[in-house]
């Protein structure tokens, strides 16, 4: 089997290679591809050295699968070219997520939308993945009417430049800025690009992608994104309003039985999820599960996941595993 990793020298691309090795692909023929400035570099995969090639060279090698984490413009340019040579692409960018004909997949929830003929499959946004994994069984039980979500997103979601900015500020050094403001000892309610209505692209993704994955276009979603000085994972405060009355005990049973999710909720012992809990893990962690006394049929949750793993690389590799198992 031949697998290309496009964007292999980036933050998510590196984690994709790590997860591939962890999940049994260590013996596969892996073709790392990146931008021209990285071509010729050596990277390590499963104990061996691989040379980075250009994206054109990767296409010419006609891989069976390609995992993309190279940004939306690169995905729009190159994913169709891979598809033309018979490669199935799993794309981690925002390029294809809103396209009606492109499956947007969290394997535990909706892999059934993938058809044998699909050659491009979209990986959702990191904050969307952890939220929908935490709520999809609750939606099946009680039908979600409205979601109010505030995210507290790690600097790793922005990439290496943001990590370097945070580290430099912690050490009192100057560094190139990924953000318009200092992030050390600070946070700001801004992730993504501004939209005309005052929301951001990161917030709009939570609206559009949640509706598509849950196949529920009528769910109302109100999102606020904040960037926090954390390395390790994204956290989310989620308020759900259901169409039907719910039972709190049944909610916790549903969460406990959700594949890939860990209920971490013993308030009397100060047990609740944190980014440090999720760092380096593939699971989504849920805690602070409690009824909202201010609104009928409403529930509060706190959800945490490693945005580089389940929020990006792991979800993509899980899609790959499902593709192999079903084709």
Q: Which residues are known to be catalytic?
A: 126, 234
Residue 302: C-alpha distances to residues 135, 191, 221, 254, 305 (Å): 11, 19, 16, 15, 11
Query: Please, what is the end-to-end C-alpha distance for the chain in angstroms?
Result: 13
Query: Alpha helices, DSSP H only, in 122-187?
Result: 126-142, 160-170
Separation between Cα atoms, residue 53 and residue 4, nearest integer Å? 10
Nearest to 155 by CA among 69, 92, 233, 224: 233
Nearest to 134 by CA among 217, 15, 235: 235
Residue 278: which H helix or E strand, with range? helix 275-278
Beta-sheet strands, E only, within 102-251: 120-122, 144-153, 220-227, 234-242
HSE (side-chain half, CA atoms, 13 Å) at 20 = 29
- Using a 10 angstrom Cβ sphere, with 0-12 exposed, 13-18 middle and 19 or more buried, the burial of residue 72 is middle
Length of the chain: 327
């Amino acid at each position: 089997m031949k697998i290309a990793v496009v964007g292999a020298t980036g933050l998510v691309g590196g984690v994709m290679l790590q997860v591939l090795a962890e999940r049994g692909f260590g013996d596969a023929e892996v073709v790392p591809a990146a931008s021209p400035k990285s071509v010729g570099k050596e990277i390590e995969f499963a104990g061996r050295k691989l040379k980075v090639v250009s994206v054109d060279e990767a296409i010419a090698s006609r891989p069976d699968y390609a995992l993309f984490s190279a940004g939306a413009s690169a995905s729009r340019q190159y994913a169709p070219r891979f598809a033309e040579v018979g490669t199935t692409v799993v794309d981690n960018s925002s390029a294809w997520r809103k396209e009606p004909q492109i499956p947007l997949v969290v394997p535990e929830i909706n892999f059934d939308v993938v058809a044998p003929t699909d050659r491009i499959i979209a990986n959702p946004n990191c904050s969307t993945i952890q939220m929908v994994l935490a709520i999809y069984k609750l939606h099946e039980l009680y039908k979600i009417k409205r979601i109010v979500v505030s995210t507290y997103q790690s600097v790793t979601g922005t990439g290496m430049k943001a990590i370097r900015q945070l580290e430099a500020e912690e050490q009192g050094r100057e560094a190139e800025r990924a953000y318009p403001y200092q992030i050390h000892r600070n946070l700001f309610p801004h992730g993504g690009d501004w939209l005309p209505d005052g929301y951001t692209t990161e917030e709009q993704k939570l609206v559009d992608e949640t509706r598509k994955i849950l196949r529920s276009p009528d769910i109302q979603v109100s999102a606020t994104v904040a960037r926090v000085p954390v390395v390790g994972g994204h956290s989310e405060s989620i308020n759900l309003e259901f169409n039907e009355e719910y039972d709190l005990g049944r909610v916790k049973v549903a969460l406990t039985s959700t594949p890939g999710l860990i209920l971490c909720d013993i308030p009397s012992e100060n047990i609740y999820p944190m980014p440090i809990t999720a760092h380096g893990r593939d699971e989504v962690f849920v805690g602070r599960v409690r009824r909202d006394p201010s609104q009928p049929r409403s529930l509060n949750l706190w959800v945490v996941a490693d945005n580089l793993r389940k929020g990006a690389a792991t979800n993509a590799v899980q899609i790959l595993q499902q593709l192999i198992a079903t084709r």
